[in-house]
Amino acid sequence: MSDFLTTFLPFLSLIGTIIICIILEAFDMDHRIFAPVTIIGGLLSLYCIIIGIDSGITYVFGNAADLFDLSRTTGLFVIDNFSRFFAIIFLIVLLLVSTSSIDYMNSERNVGIYYILLVFATIGMLLVAAANDLLVLFVAWELGSIPVYTLAAFQKTRAETSESALKLFLIGAMSSAFILFGISLVYGIAGTTSIDGVITSFADTKSYSPFHLLALMFLLVGFGYKIAAVPFHAWAVDVYQGTPTTITTFLAAGSKALGFVAVFRIIVAGLTEIDIIWGYLFALLAILTMTLGNVVALVQENIKRMLAYSSIAHAGYILIALAAVTSSPISSVIGNLNFSVAEFSIAAAEMHILTHALMKIVAFTAVIVIAFSIHSEKIEDYVGLRKKHPWLTFGLTIALLSLLGVPPLAGFVSKILLFFAAIYANLIWLAIIGIINSAISIFYYIRVIKLMIIDTPLEERDDVAVIPVERVTPFTIPLSYQLSIGISVLLIIVIGILPGPFLEFALSAAENLLSP
């Protein structure tokens, strides 16, 4: 019974949350009740996943005759520590975005639909993390993506929101087309859509044809759009700026992780047996992505655009780990450590995906509050913010320093792990380029921190003729934003100081992914 609960209850609790929200919406209940219902359902799901950690690997839905037989060794879904690790990330994002949405969506209509779509998208993300079949993964991918397209257009009165939602939908549709065509080629080559069967088929490099490479390239391009890797990144900046900021948070923290979990499930697990040329391809993508993201972020004047380019750069850092996986997959890490380079590299990527999600939740939630307070998203208007919102300034500073990689914060730990993954894979030059890119990012992160903490506030300067009234009007930060920022900042500090348990879990997840 316990195995059944830890396997199915995380999904059933979210489905139950959707049903309850639909009933409440049908009876036109007070919109303030939807957020607590969503948070309770998310917490129950998260609890069931946490208690199931290290409970082994379970295959689900093998065939119609024994649909709920948990003793099978094959199935459409696999519940292991890899799927649990990403499920925890997706649920944390759901919980914190739902919390910050309490006040953000307070004046909107159809709030119940908003939370229903959030939960639907989260269920899709959880299913992608557990998918063990290409077609199942694609269906789950669409379930995790289509609600986000709708959420991006939720504030229909804003012209820029409609434009961003349309861009997101068109790019998403094109991405899905690439993925589906890649899956069709894979099926034609391997004769199966089972991920285990496909990996076995593609591991035989002697039988390779141009169609093998074409199939992998289509999949890589499709997933590349979702993770906003260069040269598939152009949509991300405009979409991040134009969509409602809570959905921008969901995109930056959740949807980006969705893209990487699909890459891990399909491409990386299969490429660990394939030619080293894929390692150099990922290395090239990593260099282009993190360099473009960091360099272009230097000249941004809008905080959301700056954070968008920062997200692109961090996708490049994660790609360093993928380069390490495919360059030196089976060699052991130096020292007395009993895991391979591939396992360490995937664990490093998992850690950075987790920490990046937390950092972006803090950053974008802070942007929401500041925009309500001073009615501006321009970086130059953040001058002297410490005087008006000292604790908000502290939270945003912690997030930016962690994104930069300053110890002892979580971003420092995950970046160090990524660079060591490259070193262990004999890609020292790639680690050096990553460090140089981190140095470039100092300028735009520290610029914001300097404006907030060091520079003199507008209301105290003699050279400002007219001070906008919103600069001096008191603004009380609602509790929902305080909770979202406070919990995320606490996790950033805890992971930075005590990374051991998180890294051990990530290594276990990587081992499950790569195990035959």
DSSP 179-219: HHHHHHHHHHHHS--BHHHHHHHHT-GGG--HHHHHHHHHH
pLDDT of residue 371: 84
The amino acid occupying position 111 is V
DSSP 27-79: TT--GGGHHHHHHHHHHHHHHHHHHTTTS--EEE---GGGTT-TT-S--SEEE
Cβ atoms 24, 112 nearer than 8 A: yes
Indicate the DSSP class of residue 356: H
**Residues with pLDDT less than 50, the chain:** 1, 272
Using a 10 angstrom Cβ sphere, with 0-12 exposed, 13-18 middle and 19 or more buried, the burial of residue 378 is: exposed
Strands 77-79 and 58-60: antiparallel
- Alpha-carbon gap, residue 190 to 204, rounded angstroms: 11
Q: The whole model's pTM is what?
A: 0.91
- Alpha-carbon gap, residue 425 to 423, rounded angstroms: 5
* Main-chain dihedrals φ then ψ at residue 402, nearest 5 degrees: -70, -40
pLDDT of residue 325: 82
Question: pLDDT tens digits for 322-365?
Answer: 888 876 555 555 555 677 788 888 899 999 999 999 999 999 88
- Alpha-carbon gap, residue 254 to 42, rounded angstroms: 14
How far does the chain reach from its first CA to its final CA, in angstroms?
27
Question: pLDDT tens digits for 100-139?
Answer: 888 887 777 778 888 999 999 999 999 998 888 888 888 9
- Alpha-carbon gap, residue 509 to 339, rounded angstroms: 12
3-class DSSP assignment, residue 302:
strand
pLDDT of residue 1: 44
3-class DSSP assignment, residue 333:
coil
